[in-house]
Chains A and B, each alone.
Chain A
Amino acid sequence: MNEREMKNGANSDPQIEFCGNRQVLVEGCRGILEYEPETIKLNTGKYNIRLNGRELQLKHLAMGTVLVEGCLTGLEFMA
């Protein structure tokens, strides 16, 4: 894998930014697969992300960016 491929690979990865356990911003989201107050499953292309917690809420959703608020208890990467 050359440097360019590595860069491209890095760019296609989702950017996930936590603010404590109360807020998480996911950039590069391709869709919502599951939306429940206890779990939110997001499609990010290469893999899926499952956010676990309580009273989870999709505060904002636009242009591949998802902002989730609530009491986050876990994050799983799923193939």
Chain B
Amino acid sequence: MKRFIGLTAWMLGCAVFEIQGAYGERFVTEAARAGIEIWGLRRKCPGILEGKVRLGQYPDLAPVSLRCGVTLELCETRGLPVLLRRYRYRMGLLVGFLLFLIDLFVLSLFVWKIEVPGVSAARAEEIEAVLAENGFEVGTFAPSVNFRQLKYAVMLAFDDISFVSVNLSGSRAVVEVVLADPAPEHVPADVPCNIYASSEGQIISIETLEGVPYVKAGDAVVEGQLLVGGIIDSKIMGYRLVHAMASVRARTFRTLSVTVPYRQTETVDTGRSRSYYSLVLFGHRFDLTLRPEPEYEQYRTEVSESTLHIGDNLVLPFSLIRTEQTEQTEIVYRYTEEQAREEALRQLKERERIWLPGREIEDKRENCVSDGECVRYAYFYTTIEQIAVSREIYSGKDDK
């Protein structure tokens, strides 16, 4: 609030005055009665008061001072009106300022930064390439862009994108992308199909809703074996194709194993790094370093970009890219057998956590073998799971 008041005072301009005489209080009272706003009143020394008034109200103080018998003296004038008056004959400054404003306005009509948040850098580049093909890139005149067409172009170019929105804020374009969940592989209900075994095992139960079952409970099956056929041979109607549907539960034997070598390598920073700078002007990149070749054998690269902008949305077409290469080295260390075993168990449990859902464990055994080089940890499962998988029947082609 104080800053706002200060800014208002500066915009309107203020005059700092001094009054000398014995009737300072009377002067202040009379001025207030005359509708003159006074602030910052302080006594500099006995007989002298200093205060501030709005620049436009200062001439009104003169008759009051005469009436009260005090001497009024103008000490200083401050604020924007004073500044403008001071530079009123320097038209070049004004023209320069106006040109700057026009420049700013014109630059704000172009797109100077395109962001694609929420996706990988590689995918962002692909999306930006599609946008560029459709005439939307850094330096594009924003009012000429057909955002709806752009949106459809991106959606058509990528199958795994379900939603695209191109938002323009000032000269910054934010392309919001929602990736579609991958559709599960399934055969549409009106397409004829067979059911095969997804893995080897022993059939526990089979419930056929449609089609001809070729196996029964207790049978052993191998991966890819036909379980329920979608081709029905009828003596009355002849052959007909149906969409086979069945629930097939089987006992399967699975193994999860992890191998952890005793010799481990880890990549660490050596602490040495080198930075390169590039200047980007209107979408064109200029290297500021003469020899940007990497001088380290092994290194990691970090790139950071500082863009010149006014506020959040008005991005100017100037940016500085800093590329930092940090040298790395590999250090080698050895696990003890106990450490290797712990690490293997940890990795195995993590794999089990991802693999387990949808399976019912009937039996589980574990085995750990170690030699001079590594530790092998394995879980052997007997599980009960669904092994039915549908596959379309292609007429005229051999079904597997």
Which residues of A are interface residues toward B (Cβ below 8 A)? 30-37, 43, 57-64
Contacts and interface: CB of A to CB of B under 8 A. Distances in A.
A35 B43 contact: yes
Contacts of B40: 57, 59
B35 interface: yes
- The listed residue with most B CB atoms (<10 A of its CB), out of A32, A33, A35, A62, is A32
Interface string B27-38: 011011101111
A61 B28 contact: yes
A15 B28 CA distance: 20
- The listed residue with most B CB atoms (<10 A of its CB), out of A30, A31, A64, is A31
Contact of B37 (A34, A43, A57, A61): A61
A57 B28 CA distance: 13
Contacts of B49: 35
B329 to A, nearest CB: 62
B41 interface: yes
13 contacts: A31-B25, A31-B26, A31-B29, A43-B29, A57-B41, A58-B28, A58-B42, A60-B38, A60-B39, A61-B39, A62-B36, A62-B38, A63-B35
Contact of B41 (A30, A33, A34, A58): A58
A61 B43 contact: no
Nearest to B49: A35
Interface string B1-43: 0000000000000000000000011101101110111111111
Chain B binding surface SS class: mixed
- The listed residue with most B CB atoms (<10 A of its CB), out of A31, A37, A61, is A61
A57 B32 CA distance: 16
A25 B25 CA distance: 18
A72 to B, nearest CB: 16
A61 B32 contact: yes
Contacts of A35: 24-25, 28, 41, 43, 49
Contacts of B25: 31-35
Contacts of B51: 58
- The listed residue with most A CB atoms (<10 A of its CB), out of B28, B29, B33, B35, is B29
Given A34-B25, A35-B25, A62 B32 contact: yes
Nearest to A35: B25
Nearest to A66: B32
Interface in B140-182: none
Contacts of A64: 32
A34 B51 CA distance: 16
A47 to B, nearest CB: 16
A43 B35 CA distance: 17
* Closest CB pairs A-B (n = 9): A31-B29, A58-B41, A62-B37, A32-B25, A60-B39, A61-B38, A32-B28, A32-B29, A35-B25
- The listed residue with most A CB atoms (<10 A of its CB), out of B32, B37, B49, is B32
Contacts of A62: 32, 35-38
A6 to B, nearest CB: 28
B38 A37 contact: no
B249 to A, nearest CB: 79
Given A35-B28, A63-B32, A57 B42 contact: yes
A59 to B, nearest CB: 6
A14 to B, nearest CB: 14
A62 B33 CA distance: 8
A25 B42 CA distance: 17
A35 B34 CA distance: 19
Contacts of A60: 37-39
Nearest to A62: B37
Contacts of B28: 32, 35, 58, 61
A58 B38 contact: yes
A64 B36 CA distance: 11
Given A62-B35, A62-B36, 17 more contacts: A31-B25, A31-B26, A31-B32, A32-B25, A34-B25, A35-B25, A35-B28, A37-B42, A57-B41, A58-B38, A58-B51, A59-B40, A60-B38, A60-B39, A61-B28, A61-B32, A61-B39
Contacts of B41: 35, 57-59, 61
A34 B46 CA distance: 12
A77 B25 CA distance: 19
